[in-house]
Structure 1
Amino acid sequence: MSQTQGSTGEQTVRSRAGERSARDPLSTDEGRISVSQSVVTKIAGVACREVGGVHDMGTSGGRAVGALRERIPGSSGPSVSQGVAVEVGETQAAIDLDIVVEYGISIADLGKSVQRNVKQTVERMTGLEVTEININVDDVYLPDEGQETAPRVS
């Protein structure tokens, strides 16, 4: 940066540094902060699951693998990153989510709520600008799907 003489020039230099920090919260006078893709993936996964009406995440194949993983003794259960794909740049992130919704929930309203919660949480925690959140509804959970029905004839 070139310095200009006088108080007006000094204010301009300070103003530019302040503007840079306001536009890019991950760049400071002390250095640069970088956030890895795996961090954004976990944050987005947790934020998505916080929204009522999201029953599960992932495609049918991913959920099947997660179910198998849960049955292995000592496993930590399903991954919070299941059903989440992200692209992270220097200052921006784009997120794709595969979800299973509970039956009876408005998919449009739920999608908007998920987008809002994920965007706010990722931006607040990472300082990245979330440019888009794409949601793919992979399935609808029916409460009696996982339960065996009693035989009608005995």
Structure 2
Amino acid sequence: MMENRLSEGSEGTCIISQEVLVSIAGTAASEIDGVASLANRTDFKRLMDKKHSARSVRIERENEGIVIDVFVNLKSTARIPETAGRVQQNVKSCVESMTGRPVNRVNVHVMDICFQDPAAVQP
């Protein structure tokens, strides 16, 4: 498990777990208009090698900052470049403001386009 040590002082140490970073980034991506959902693990599991877990968000340490990969499904009405750009900005802003850790890159992977609103489907 990767931990991000934020600060050490006379009071102690602040450590943020990878799961917290994943949660912040996933929530930030989901907030963007045009994002239908985070991609289901099975949507991209075949694209990942065995050393990476199949999650909707992947966090890696790079130099003094972090790199975030976000896997999303977009609504059919979304303009892909604009929506992906807004996801990048929101994820970077939220993670940096909540953790104080610099985000070097946010890579957005569009895994699918949803042509029907999942909420409109009745069982």
TM range (shorter): 0.7 to 0.9
Partner of 1:45: 26
- Per-residue CA deviations over 1:22-53 (Å, capped at 9, x if unaligned) read xxxx3354344221111100000011001111
Partner of 2:84: 111
Question: Aligned with 2:15: secondary structure?
Answer: coil
Higher strand share: 2
Match of 1:87 among 60, 63, 66: 60
Distance in 1, matches of 2:114 and 2:60, equals 28
* Structure 1 residue 62: Cα displacement: 5.0
Give the CA RMSD over aligned residues.
2.9
CA contact (8 A) 2:96 2:103 kept: yes
Match of 2:7 among 23, 27, 33: 27
Partner of 2:93: 120
- Structure 2's unaligned 5+ residue stretches are 1-5, 45-54
With a CA cutoff of 8 Å and minimum separation of 6, indicate the structure with the bigger relative contact order. Answer: 2
Amino acid at match of 1:116: Q
Using structure 2 for the length normalisation, give the TM-score.
0.73
The size of the alignment, in residue pairs, is 107
Partner of 1:10: none
* Structure 1 residue 147: Cα displacement: 4.9
Question: Aligned with 2:29: secondary structure?
Answer: helix
Distance in 2, matches of 1:28 and 1:125, equals 17
- Larger radius of gyration between Structure 1 and Structure 2: 1
Question: Aligned with 1:35: secondary structure?
Answer: strand
- Structure 1's unaligned 5+ residue stretches are 1-25, 64-81, 149-154
* Structure 1 residue 108: Cα displacement: 0.3
Distance in 1, matches of 2:86 and 2:117, equals 26
Higher helix share: 1
Partner of 2:52: none
